[in-house]
Amino acid sequence: MNDDIRLQELFDSFHPTLADSNLFNQRLDRKLKMIDEIKQAQTNQIRHYRMAVVAAFVAGIIFGSVIFAIILTTPSDVPLFSFGINFYPLMLIEQNSRLISMLLTSLIIAFCIVAMMNINEMVNRIRPQRKP
C-alpha cells in the first residue's frame, strides 16, 4: 500500500517539458527524407533485378539457339570433340558427343530458367504490397 502511494506521488510529480517544435520538425523532415531515399533505392534495386532477369532470359535464348544450331549443323558421323586416346570411357564420350552436348546445353538452359524464376520471386517479395 505504501508503495502505491509513492508511485502515485512519483507520477504526479512528473511534468515533462516540451521540446522545441523546430527541432522536432527538423528531425521529422530528416527521417522522412531518409524514408524517401530508402524507397528510391528499393525501386532502383527492383528495376535492376528485372533487367537482370530479362538479360538472363535473352542470353539463355541466344546462347541455347547458337549451341543447338552448331550441334545440329555438324555432320552426324563426326564427333563434336575428340580426345585422341583409345580409352573406352573416353571413346564412349566421343561417340556420343552430340547427345552429351545437347543434354548439357538443355541442362544449362533449364538452370538459367530456374534461376530467372527465383530472381523474379525474390523481386516480388521485395516489392511493397499494394493495398486494394
Could you tell me the residue range of the domain that residue 48 belongs to?
31-126
Q: Residue 5: inside a domain, yes or no?
A: no
Counted domains in the chain: 1
Q: Is 60 exceeded by the pLDDT of residue 122?
A: yes
Q: Residue 64: inside a domain, yes or no?
A: yes
Q: Say if residue 86 is exposed, middle or buried (CB neighbours under 10 Å; 0-12, 13-18, 19+).
A: exposed
Q: Residue 16: inside a domain, yes or no?
A: no
pTM for the complete prediction?
Answer: 0.50
Mean pLDDT for 102-122 is 79
Question: How confident is residue 33, by pLDDT bands cut at 50, 70 and 90?
Answer: very high
Q: In whole angstroms, what is the distance from residue 4 CA to residue 81 CA?
A: 90
Q: Residue 53: inside a domain, yes or no?
A: yes
Mean pLDDT for 16-33 is 80
Q: Residue 42: inside a domain, yes or no?
A: yes
Q: Is 80 exceeded by the pLDDT of residue 35?
A: yes
Q: What is the dihedral of CA 67, 71, 73, 74, to 10 degrees?
A: 140
Q: Residue 98: inside a domain, yes or no?
A: yes
Q: Residue 122: inside a domain, yes or no?
A: yes
Mean pLDDT for 121-126 is 75
